[in-house]
């Protein structure tokens, strides 16, 4: 049977070179980076080297990189940290986000509104899920302290015009946070050309380990720490740093940059072929997200009259791992809020399919997938009628 993984937006396998880079820090160089003795100093040197690697590729200073435990934590620190600092310093109370952010941003912003009285408003998005810089300009207020717009959307792959949005925020002296967790694997990210003050990353999306992330914090950006305690990570995040995972994140991020062109040249034609074939072969199908401004490995669709969760199970049964945006709540599927937001009716939105490719996906994998998908969709439609 096939055993083909096409869900690289969910997570990626750790690259063997990354595993090798992490290995010494579990057993040999195991000191606490805050200890003064040589064991501690060795660990600290590995930690600072990793920080320099990330900073170098992001166009940042090492002191602007904070290691966290995941992309979600980076989002939380950026948003809550900015909110509580703003409240303390300037009394600014307004937070502006895109309505189709990942739950790590959406639920964090909602919690700030519900529990702490912050004023939250949502930017409009077009049919591809893009935020327009003009809308940001229009929706900024005197008391806005932060705008948060994701670099690329996890469900539909659309990339936002972050640099332009950042230019507008900068003119008004308002912080811009971008969740770049999905783009970390693909786009060369430069915090200066992107005009961002805060940028979140998570290592497991780019062949690094799970349980480690990073937040870029432009120097001078006021954030209240969320994890209080010791003075690690420049006082922005207490806790003994997870040196093996941080070393793994740096090794994986370096490979993203070094192999960027090779990976893109491999993945992009496969993705384009996949999209074209699916839209041609499958009746009542549509691409979701932007046709061009999208992640290079990302193909997402809706099929009318299909139960997306059932389709995922049937595909899994034939040996293909993909995902669907609809959440299954006690057997009663609900369409993804992202697709609903983009205006898809439930009969389309419930039939969503996300196929995300990786650096090791082959043309044969895609052909085998294309051989089974039309039959699976037909089967799901038949079961429904």
Sheet of strand 285-287, all strands in order from the earlier edge strand to the far edge: 285-287, 298-303, 352-356
Q: Is 154 in the site for ligand PLP (CB under 6 A)?
A: yes
Contact residue for ligand PLP among 4, 104, 246, 350 (CB under 6 A):
104
Report the distance separating Cα 344 and Cα 197, nearest Å: 33
Please check whether residue 109 is in contact with residue 79, taking contact to mean a CB–CB distance below 8 angstroms: yes
Chain Cα centroid distance, residue 30? 30
Q: Is 31 in the site for ligand PLP (CB under 6 A)?
A: no
Report the distance separating Cα 366 and Cα 273, nearest Å: 9
CB of 384 to ligand PLP, least distance (A): 29
Q: Is 76 in the site for ligand PLP (CB under 6 A)?
A: no
Query: Near ligand PLP by CB under 6 A, which window of 53-61, 66-74, 240-248, 374-382?
Result: 66-74
Contact residue for ligand PLP among 12, 72, 195, 242 (CB under 6 A):
72
Q: Is 182 in the site for ligand PLP (CB under 6 A)?
A: yes
Q: Is 306 in the site for ligand PLP (CB under 6 A)?
A: no
Q: What is the DSSP letter of 62?
A: G
Contact residue for ligand PLP among 4, 47, 65, 70 (CB under 6 A):
70
Q: Is 135 in the site for ligand PLP (CB under 6 A)?
A: no
Query: Near ligand PLP by CB under 6 A, which window of 69-77, 321-329, 346-354, 371-379?
Result: 69-77
Q: What tokens were used for 73? A: 């934590």
With a CB cutoff of 8 Å and minimum separation 6, the contacts of 36 are none
Q: Is 12 in the site for ligand PLP (CB under 6 A)?
A: no
Residue with tokens 């992640």: 295
CB of 374 to ligand PLP, least distance (A): 28
Residue nearest to ligand PLP (CB): 71
Nearest to ligand PLP of 133, 202 (CB atom):
202
Catalytic residue at 328?
A: yes
Report the distance separating Cα 299 and Cα 278, nearest Å: 10
Nearest to ligand PLP of 148, 285 (CB atom):
148
Binding to ligand PLP (CB under 6 A) within 332-371 occurs at none
Report the distance separating Cα 88 and Cα 84, nearest Å: 6
Contact residue for ligand PLP among 81, 133, 202, 335 (CB under 6 A):
202
Long-range Cβ contacts of 16-21 (<8 Å, 24+ apart): 17/251, 17/255, 18/207, 18/208, 18/209, 18/248, 18/251, 18/252, 18/255, 19/248, 21/247, 21/248, 21/250, 21/251
CA angle 290, 126, 149 (to 5 degrees): 85
Q: Is 144 in the site for ligand PLP (CB under 6 A)?
A: no
Applying CB under 6 A, the site for ligand PLP has a residue count of 14
Q: Is 65 in the site for ligand PLP (CB under 6 A)?
A: no
Q: Which residues contact ligand PLP (rule: CB under 6 A)?
A: 70-72, 75, 102, 104, 150, 154, 179, 181-182, 202, 204, 213
List the catalytic residues.
Answer: 328
């Amino acid at each position: 049977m096939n055993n083909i993984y096409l869900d690289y937006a969910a997570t990626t396998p750790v690259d063997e070179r990354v595993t090798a880079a992490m290995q010494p820090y579990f057993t040999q160089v195991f000191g606490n980076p805050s200890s003064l003795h040589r064991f501690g100093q060795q660990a600290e040197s590995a930690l600072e080297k990793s920080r320099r690697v990330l900073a170098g590729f992001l166009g940042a200073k090492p002191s602007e990189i904070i290691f966290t435990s995941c992309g979600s934590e980076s989002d939380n620190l950026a948003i809550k940290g900015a909110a509580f600092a703003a409240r303390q310093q300037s009394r600014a109370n307004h937070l502006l986000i895109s309505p189709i952010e990942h739950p790590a941003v959406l639920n964090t912003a909602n919690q700030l509104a519900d529990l702490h009285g912050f004023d939250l408003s949502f930017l409009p998005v077009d049919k591809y899920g893009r935020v327009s810089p003009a809308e940001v300009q229009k929706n900024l207020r005197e008391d806005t302290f932060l705008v948060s717009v994701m670099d690329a959307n996890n469900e539909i792959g659309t990339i936002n015009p972050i640099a332009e949005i950042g230019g507008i925020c900068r003119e008004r002296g308002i912080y811009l946070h971008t969740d770049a967790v999905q783009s970390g694997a693909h786009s060369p990210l430069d915090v200066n050309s992107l005009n961002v003050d805060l940028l979140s990353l998570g290592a497991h999306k780019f062949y690094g380990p799970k349980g480690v992330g990073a937040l870029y914090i432009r120097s001078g950006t006021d954030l209240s720490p969320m994890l209080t305690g010791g003075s690690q990570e420049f006082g922005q995040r207490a806790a003994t740093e997870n040196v093996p995972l941080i070393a793994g994140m740096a090794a994986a991020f370096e490979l993203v940059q070094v192999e960027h062109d090779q990976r893109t040249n491999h993945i992009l034609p496969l993705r384009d072929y996949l999209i074209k074939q699916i839209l041609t072969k499958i009746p009542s199908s549509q691409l979701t997200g932007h046709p061009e401004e999208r992640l290079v490995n990302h193909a997402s669709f809706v099929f009318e009259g299909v139960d997306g969760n059932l389709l995922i199970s049937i595909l899994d049964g034939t040996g293909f791992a993909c995902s669907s945006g609809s959440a299954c709540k006690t057997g009663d599927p609900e369409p993804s809020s992202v697709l609903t937001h983009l205006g898809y009716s439930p009969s389309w939105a419930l039939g969503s399919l996300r196929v995300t490719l990786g650096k090791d996906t082959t043309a044969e994998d895609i052909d085998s997938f294309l051989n089974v998908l039309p039959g699976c969709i037909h089967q799901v439609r038949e079961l429904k009628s």
